[in-house]
Structure 1
Amino acid sequence: MCNNPTVVRCNENDRETLLTFNQGITDSLGWISTWSTEKDCCGWEGVHCDNITGRVTKIDLKPNFEDEIIDYLLKGEMNLCILELEFLSYLDLSHNYFGEIRIPTIKHNITHSSKLVYLDLSYSLDTINNLHWLYPLSSLKYLTLSWIDLHKETNWPQIVNTLPSLLELQMSHCNLNNFPSVEHLNLSSIVTLDLSYNNFTSHIPDGFFNLTKDLTSLDLSYSNIHGEIPSSLLNLQNLRHLDLSNNQLQGSVPDGIGKLAHIQHLDLSENQLQGFILSTLGNLPSLNYLSIGSNNFSEDISNLTLNCSALFLDHNSFTGGLPNISPIVEFVDLSYNSFSGSIPHSWKNLKELTVLNLWSNRLSGEVPLYCSGWKQLRVMNLGENEFYGTIPIMMSQNLEVVILRDNRFEGTIPPQLFNLSDLFHLDLAHNKLSGSLPHSVYNLTHMVTFHLSLWYSTTIDLFIKGQDYVYHVSPDRRTIDLSSNSLSGEVTLQLFRLVQIQTLNLSHNNLTGTIPKLIGDMKNMESLDLSNNKFYGEIPQSMSFLTFLDYLNLSYNSFDGKIPIGTQLQSFNASSYNGNPKLCGAPLNNCTIKEENPTTATPSTKNEDYDSMKDSLYLGMGVGFAVGFWGICGSIFLIRKCRHAYFRFIDRVAGNLYVTLVVKLNSFRRN
């Protein structure tokens, strides 16, 4: 925000206007505190003047996102008298938190010809009821009002029409509910138009794309748009970025979409579109990002070559073999289709591949050895297919997610998998794996010390134990699932030293041994399933320290002794412990207690009195324990659940923020 030294003093009228704007504003950074009458206004924070005339030309009060900005926001009243600055060409008040807006009255309105070119008020106000103050801004080229509720301003298209120089209009998340009609909108000068995340509940007018031929970027995503894509879309021959995702569009994509020779980013995902599309897009020379997932597209694309760095065809009905893919590809998601055959040899040269998702297809064959050449690969999801053979020993050292679930892999688990330091999600469940778990030192750094991993997040639908199950892969969640195989032998202590694990599933194997006491150090554990194995011995008392545990299944093993007493382990029902005949204690039956001197005889009457007194004593102790336990520990139990929910919420928010930032950075780098 620093300014260059000025040669002349700022204009007196400009200074008075800035002081009027200053009234009623507070900020934690102290920017506005520099706006004092004792200092030339050209030296005020965020104010820039012309070095010759001393007139204010630029005001930039957007917070610096490299700082801690939670309390560094301008607050109070946004007074639009600031638009009366005669030579102001640039105004950025975005990402602040003004509680209200003051629009100047008629007598204070702009009487000169405005020179304002750039105006950004996004993320700065909750609501603006009208936009009539935009009328005099005839020189405006860039206008951003995103994240401001404008639903009361129903005449915004007519107001936009009065801005003949406008090149870029961004009104995302504005709660707009009336899609502009063709007769009320003039887009002849517009190059960038963003009306995403609104609620239009209407069709795109047939002539909408006839309004401008210079449009290079159009975003209408998440706006509840119905109907078909008008064929007039093909008139936008300069279009480079098109996003119509997450609407309710139906029908076929216009046949000539492959003639949009300059298109670089195309997103039609999350609609109800159908028919053929890829055969017309395969040869687009500039296409870099293609996302058409979650539609009803269907065609055999095995002979196509797709030239994109990001390719998302998931949740459709594509058939045949996998397509050929350009060597520049980084992200590939072909999940939830009907692809068949093996991974093609043409994929050998995918040196830049970072994410590969082939979940839920009909693919088969062995994983080719050349996959070891995918050195940049971070996510490998081959789950729910018919792949067979052994798990490759040589894989990318950058892997963070490995999902081979629901295939026919056999043999042992390669020890190399447990030396991937960035790995946070490993799922080998429902295969034919055998042998024991590797006993080498586990180098899964991300499962020992918490590191917020890259950015990959996805949701997978499963059908387990007679019910639908949502399977979430997230960078803030650590998971190991080796269930439903034929693994045997004792579980190495190395596994229980991975203290950041939140989900551990070893069920339905032939594993044996005892649960070590150090399981109590896995304090982040939320789901633990050791059922249907051959584990034995007592359940260690330290398991009661797993206060985040939401799901527990130790059933059908050979555990014995008494279930440790503690709020956590008693909160699960008996099904978590069934099938262990020698296990007792709540929530199972009480453990039997043998008398110390069974050979000492007493008269029968005394035995009856003793038995009666003993039963009364035990009954009283049981009732007393129940009342005392729930009276004292009940509140702690509730507090634990609240604490659990709170920390999960914090983790989720932090993860989402990180994911959003990194995705934007990657997108910027690709462009």
Structure 2
Amino acid sequence: MCSNHTLVRCNENHTLVRCNEKDRETLLTFKQGINDSFGMISTWSTEKDCCSWEGVHCDNITGRVIEIDLKGEPFDGVHDPVKVLKGEMNFCILELEFLSYLDLSFNEFDVISIPSIQNNITHSSNLFYLDLHPPTFTLHMDNLDWLSPHSSLKYLNLSWIDLHKETNWLQIVNSLPSLLELELSGCNLNNFPSVEYLNLPSLVTLSLSFNNFTSHIPDGFFNLTKDLTSLDLSYSNIHGEIPSSLLNLQNLRQLHLSNNQLQGSIPSTLGNLSSLISLSIGSNNFSGEISQFFFSKLSSLNHLDLSNSNFEFQFDLDWVPPFQLHTLSLNNITQGPNFPSWIYTQKSLQNLDISSAGISLVDRYKFSSLIERISFYIVLSNNSIAEDISNLTLNCSVLRLDHNNFTGGLPNLSPKPAIVDLSYNSFSRSIPHSWKNLSELRVMNLWNNKLSGELPLYISNWKELQDMNLGKNEFSGNIPVGMSQNLRVVILRANKFEGIIPRQLFNLSYLFHLDLAHNKLSGSLPHFVYNLTQMDTDHVDLWYDTTIDLFTKGQYYVCDVNPDRRTIDLSANHLTGEVPLELFRLVQVQSLNLSHNSFKGTIPKTIGGMKKMESLDLSNNKFFGEIPQSMALLNFLGVLNLSCNNFDGKIPTGTQLQSRDASSYIGNPKLCGAPLNNCTITEENPKTAMPSTENEDDESIKESLYLGMGVGFAAGFWGICGSLFLIRKWRHAYFRFIYGVGNRLYVTLMVKLNSFRRS
């Protein structure tokens, strides 16, 4: 047997081999700068042979390190990262003499360290596979000179590493004669260096997408290699026309030029690239006519993107293409009103996007058959299709039919969907029972339909659900208690929900947008420790490629789902009681609307800690007491409405409070101060108040007045009190007279006093 501590590899003759000491020291040096909070390389210790360390593979005979596979596993949008390395990526690891394979991709290093010895490597490098690309744009590298010793490289991936300072990237890559695949996507490259004397005869895959080339592609660029099979220049700001040299790449199978500034008409010879499997030329400035004859030789095509184009499509109604597509993108084209008939012939289609194409007419039978067999994504958004698809069962993972005129009940769904957006249609009835097993569902948007009935209890089965938007329908009954713990967006606005708000909603640690406004909810808010982590910490997980209808600052907005936008809206319900202090401790909330309820109590001073607040509406409730001075600390407050409550005292001094229109405070009879300007009590500063003869004179006048009034009252009382007590008419007239005289006397006295003070 092999020992677990010092010997880990056995060759075919069962000879035991040890890890090379020099390799072990190099690996430990690499480890020193790493932050391994996920325990990814926790096995890298002197107690174990380095050939048994996580991700390290040694030669069975020599014991030398030949492969290192430490590929990270970043977050998937729901869960935290499974394992990633952080800190320093030390290129000392490239000094391993027999290393042939190194994968450090999808980690979160923030700095690259290149030892000076790396530029003077004397041994012949065996490295043929090198992948360093991070999951996001976080790393910077000034030059690529360190690549020169590694002439045996066949695969090189530096995508998403900032290389904008390296102006000779192509010449350095040219020093790698064995290179088969080059991935430099998202490297912030901004120029095409001179292509003269360059030659990359082995290159078959080249990806330069997501860069910022503000120039034309050099005419001779595609003469660098004749065997190129995959070319990706999408999202790179490339200008001009398609170079003629590109049309000579007869082995090209994948051509991605989408989302650039290319212009002119499509060269007809592009249709001669008969090996093409994937063609993506959408989102450019191409124009002119494109007809079925362009595709006559493209029998192998299975991916086609012509989206966001100004082409004039000239296809016969009975045209049957020579290909069977897997993916088709025709969004944002001038197509309608008829759904393109040739798409019905695509029996292998698994991805279809023909949104914003002006389509209103479909062949009901063929259309139904088409969308039922698509298994990945269907995007038909922003058309005018008015069909009843309630009898269909859809099997796709992504379903976007929003902004159409679909009628009838909701379609049946298989358990596969992850994203379902059926908003802005005319769907009616209740949620079908077939939706019970949507175990993969993450986004559900049914906003603005005519759906009704109670929410089924089986929504507790949707464990992965993140965004739930059921607003502007006619749902009724109670809000279900059991819902996904992964919920980040909950919108039930403008329905007929009643009963109390389940306390579980305030225990969702990922929740950052809660909108229950305009329902019939009653009762008080639960008093317990709110576990709304996203609402009270700076931690932000992820943004999503979907939108929500956000009501804030008195207006509707359609915006991307983003945890930086944190909102709570419970307005226009029948909620009562005091607002729990915990709600005012959610310091990251930017929009809070509790208006049009029956909340009572005071505003706590802790509201001053909600310093990111942009919109606060507490109007039309029963709040009372003074407005806390701490509200003046809300420096980003753009909308404030405290009207129609029972607040009293003076509005605190502060730009954020005094600069409001008076409408922010009206309907609080006992509230005064700017901008209301109706305070009648003169405030006196006790520290500056000084005794004066003026005050003494005031007191003397008051004493004389009171004494005279007393004597007059006594004489009048005993003179006529008997008559008053006996004759009721006289008694009423007397008191009316005394009341009027008293009022006039008081007013005259106050005028005299004020005049006396001024003099």
**CA positional deviation for 1:401:** 1.6
**CA positional deviation for 1:60:** 2.9
Task: Select between 320-329 and 393-402 the one with higher mean Cα deviation.
Answer: 393-402
Partner of 1:638: none
1:474 corresponds to which of 562, 579, 583 = 562
> Contact 1:81–1:103 at 8 Å: present in 2 too?
no
Task: Select between 351-360 and 195-204 the one with higher mean Cα deviation.
Answer: 195-204
Task: Select between 436-445 and 576-585 the one with higher mean Cα deviation.
Answer: 436-445
Q: Does 2:455 match 1:367? A: yes
1:601 corresponds to which of 701, 711, 736 = 701
**How far apart, in 1, do the equivalents of 2:204 and 2:279 lie?**
16
**How far apart, in 2, do the equivalents of 1:298 and 1:595 lie?**
68
Partner of 1:339: 427
**CA positional deviation for 1:375:** 2.3
Q: Secondary structure at the match of 2:246?
A: helix
> Contact 1:433–1:486 at 8 Å: present in 2 too?
yes
> Contact 1:167–1:191 at 8 Å: present in 2 too?
yes
- Partner deviation per Cα, 1:137-194 (whole Å, 9 max, x = no partner): 2211122223333323x243x3322111111112233211224143554231111222
Q: Which has the higher contact order (CA 8 A, sep 6+)?
A: 1
Partner of 2:626: 538
> Contact 1:204–1:230 at 8 Å: present in 2 too?
no
Task: Select between 510-519 and 598-607 the one with higher mean Cα deviation.
Answer: 598-607
Give me the TM-score of the superposition, normalised by structure 2: 0.69
**How far apart, in 2, do the equivalents of 1:81 and 1:390 lie?**
66
Q: Secondary structure at the match of 2:620?
A: coil
> Contact 1:226–1:247 at 8 Å: present in 2 too?
no
1:62 corresponds to which of 127, 152, 158 = 158
Partner of 2:53: none
**How far apart, in 1, do the equivalents of 2:575 and 2:255 lie?**
60
Partner of 2:202: 115
**CA positional deviation for 1:512:** 1.1
- The CA RMSD over aligned residues, in Å, is 3.4
Partner of 1:75: 166
> Contact 1:80–1:101 at 8 Å: present in 2 too?
no
Partner of 2:401: 313
**CA positional deviation for 1:260:** 2.0
**CA positional deviation for 1:471:** 6.5
Task: Select between 351-360 and 220-229 the one with higher mean Cα deviation.
Answer: 220-229
**How far apart, in 2, do the equivalents of 1:595 and 1:37 lie?**
82
In structure 2, do the counterparts of structure 1 residues 318 and 559 end up closer, same or farther at CA, with 3 Å as the change threshold? same
**How far apart, in 1, do the equivalents of 2:700 and 2:287 lie?**
87
In structure 2, do the counterparts of structure 1 residues 145 and 549 end up closer, same or farther at CA, with 3 Å as the change threshold? same
Q: Secondary structure at the match of 1:207?
A: helix
Q: Does 2:250 match 1:164? A: yes
Name stretches of at least 5 consecutive residues in structure 1 with no aligned partner: 8-26, 50-54, 613-671
- Partner deviation per Cα, 1:61-101 (whole Å, 9 max, x = no partner): 625x5xxx55x655224455855876553444443344543
> Contact 1:182–1:205 at 8 Å: present in 2 too?
no
**How far apart, in 1, do the equivalents of 2:265 and 2:96 lie?**
45
2:369 corresponds to which of 268, 280, 305 = 280
**CA positional deviation for 1:207:** 2.5
Task: Select between 482-491 and 125-134 the one with higher mean Cα deviation.
Answer: 125-134
**How far apart, in 2, do the equivalents of 1:350 and 1:93 lie?**
38
**How far apart, in 1, do the equivalents of 2:299 and 2:149 lie?**
36
**How far apart, in 1, do the equivalents of 2:261 and 2:565 lie?**
34
Question: Which amino acid is the alignment partner of residue 601 of structure 1?
Answer: I
1:581 corresponds to which of 669, 672, 679 = 669
Partner of 1:295: 383
1:255 corresponds to which of 341, 352, 356 = 341
Q: Secondary structure at the match of 1:508?
A: coil
In structure 2, do the counterparts of structure 1 residues 39 and 472 end up closer, same or farther at CA, with 3 Å as the change threshold? closer
> Contact 1:3–1:45 at 8 Å: present in 2 too?
no
Partner of 2:46: none
> Contact 1:317–1:338 at 8 Å: present in 2 too?
yes
Partner of 1:382: 470
In structure 2, do the counterparts of structure 1 residues 76 and 28 end up closer, same or farther at CA, with 3 Å as the change threshold? farther
> Contact 2:372–2:392 at 8 Å: present in 1 too?
no
**CA positional deviation for 1:424:** 1.6
**How far apart, in 1, do the equivalents of 2:214 and 2:194 lie?**
13
Name stretches of at least 5 consecutive residues in structure 2 with no aligned partner: 1-90, 100-110, 128-144, 685-694, 703-748
In structure 2, do the counterparts of structure 1 residues 295 and 595 end up closer, same or farther at CA, with 3 Å as the change threshold? closer
Larger Rg: 2
Seq. identity, %: 50
- Partner deviation per Cα, 1:281-323 (whole Å, 9 max, x = no partner): 2442x52111111112221101011111211111111111111
> Contact 2:302–2:324 at 8 Å: present in 1 too?
yes
- Partner deviation per Cα, 1:359-391 (whole Å, 9 max, x = no partner): 100111111122222222222211100111121
Partner of 1:101: 192
> Contact 2:605–2:630 at 8 Å: present in 1 too?
yes
**How far apart, in 2, do the equivalents of 1:348 and 1:458 lie?**
23
In structure 2, do the counterparts of structure 1 residues 488 and 474 end up closer, same or farther at CA, with 3 Å as the change threshold? same
1:527 corresponds to which of 612, 615, 618 = 615
Question: Which amino acid is the alignment partner of residue 677 of structure 2?
Answer: N
> Contact 1:3–1:47 at 8 Å: present in 2 too?
no
In structure 2, do the counterparts of structure 1 residues 121 and 461 end up closer, same or farther at CA, with 3 Å as the change threshold? closer
Partner of 1:553: 641
**How far apart, in 2, do the equivalents of 1:267 and 1:31 lie?**
49
Partner of 1:198: 284
**CA positional deviation for 1:276:** 2.4
- Structure 2 counterparts to residues 334-483 of structure 1, below 5 A: 334-456=422-544, 458-460=546-548, 469-470=557-558, 473-483=561-571
